[in-house]
């Protein structure tokens, strides 16, 4: 979350704009609690563009994991639905197998 806020602020600074809460919030891809947004922007406003760039570079691996966790929320529910469907299919196949086994036993005897 913080990474995305800092990255957006950095892009605004690079384009010659002073980042504001409204500007950054409008560009965020996920909802961020206002205190986090404000605190992060305050931290960034006290830094030079070079320091911000260094901070972003140091945060990149952790940010990728955090972003993946945020976006995986929807993916997780999709996977749960798929697992449920697959479990239903397995149950159906087990029932069919049981029926076939019973038919074979009857034919043999």
Residue 73: which pLDDT band, with cuts at 50, 70 and 90?
low
User: What are the residue ranges spanned by the domains of the chain?
Assistant: 2-108
Q: Tell me 106's DSSP state.
A: H
The pTM for the full model equals 0.54
Q: Could you report the per-residue pLDDT of 20-59, keeping only the tens digit for each?
A: 999 999 998 888 899 999 999 999 888 999 998 888 888 8
Distance CA(109)–CA(21), nearest Å, equals 80
- Compute CA distances 79 → 84, 91, 93, whole Å: 9, 18, 21
CB contact at 8 A, 46 and 13: no
State yes or no: pLDDT of 10 exceeds 80.
yes
For all residues of the chain together, what is the average pLDDT? 84
Residue 65's pLDDT is 59
Residue 63's pLDDT is 56
Mean predicted confidence (pLDDT) in 70-96: 79
Q: Could you report the per-residue pLDDT of 96-107, keeping only the tens digit for each?
A: 999 999 999 999
Residue 72's pLDDT is 56
């Amino acid at each position: 979350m913080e990474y995305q806020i800092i990255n957006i602020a950095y892009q605004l600074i690079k384009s010659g704009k002073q980042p504001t809460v409204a500007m950054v919030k409008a560009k965020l891809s996920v909802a961020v609690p206002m205190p986090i947004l404000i605190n992060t922007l305050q931290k960034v406003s006290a830094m030079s563009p070079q320091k911000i760039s260094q901070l972003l570079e140091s945060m990149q691996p952790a940010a990728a994991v955090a972003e993946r966790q945020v976006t995986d929320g929807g993916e997780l529910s999709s996977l749960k639905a798929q697992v449920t469907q697959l479990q239903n299919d397995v149950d159906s196949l087990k029932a069919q197998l049981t029926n076939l086994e019973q038919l074979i036993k009857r034919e043999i005897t």
